[in-house]
Amino acid sequence: MTDGGAATVYTIPAGVSFVDALATGLLRESGDDPMALADCLVLLPNRRSCRALREAFLRAAGGRPLLLPELRPIGEVDEDELLVADALPLGADDLPPAIPPLRRLLLLAELIRRHAEEPIAPDQATRLAGDLARLLDQVQTERLDFAGLEGLVPDQYATHWQRTLTVLRVVTEHWPEQLEAEGWLDPAIR
């Protein structure tokens, strides 16, 4: 955070939790202004580190409500994927491979267009496919599932929610069949 002048460089000593020190330092820099953090952009190596920093802010704030800075991963390949690829357990070679990201995006976009209630443009389907892929990764990484989606929203939002459920059926019903037919696994599952 700077006040328009030269940027200040801070270091975090070895052996100290990076995300905890970063969260504490950013909170200290923002003072008592709960809106100051919202003006910040924090670039991190991957989505996993973004999640870890969000959790560190929760710890450092001690339960106080605050707006977090924008946390943006600069790399889409998660470090864990690379580590796991080198250290797969015995028998893991028998698993189907992870679907390549571009193939996944194109297949999801095709499924969205095929199952949409109204015609949808290819660029819109591709953007929606990217969002669905990220949602799918997050759900699988957190070891959750999509069970119970039907009863999640009160009746007052029923019309909009039914349209949302139609889109989500792509990942709940059609995507598993497509993956199996293609002989792939989702990256988070593999």
- What's the pLDDT score for residue 12? 87
Q: Can you name the residues that pair with 119 across neighbouring β-strands?
A: none
* Beta strand 41-44 pairing with 70-73: parallel
Element (H, E) at 42: strand 41-44
- What's the pLDDT score for residue 89? 54
DSSP 120: -
Going residue by residue through the chain (190 aa), what tens digit of pLDDT does each one get?
445 566 677 788 888 999 999 999 998 888 867 678 888 888 888 888 899 999 999 888 887 778 889 888 887 554 445 444 445 555 556 788 889 999 999 999 999 999 888 898 999 999 999 999 998 988 888 888 878 777 776 666 667 677 777 778 888 889 999 999 989 888 888 7
Nearest to 168 by CA among 111, 122, 119: 111
Query: What are the domain boundaries of the chain?
Result: 18-73, 92-182
- Which residues, in sequence order, are CB contacts of 8 under 8 Å at separation 6+? 2
Tell me, yes or no, if the pTM score tops 0.75. Answer: no
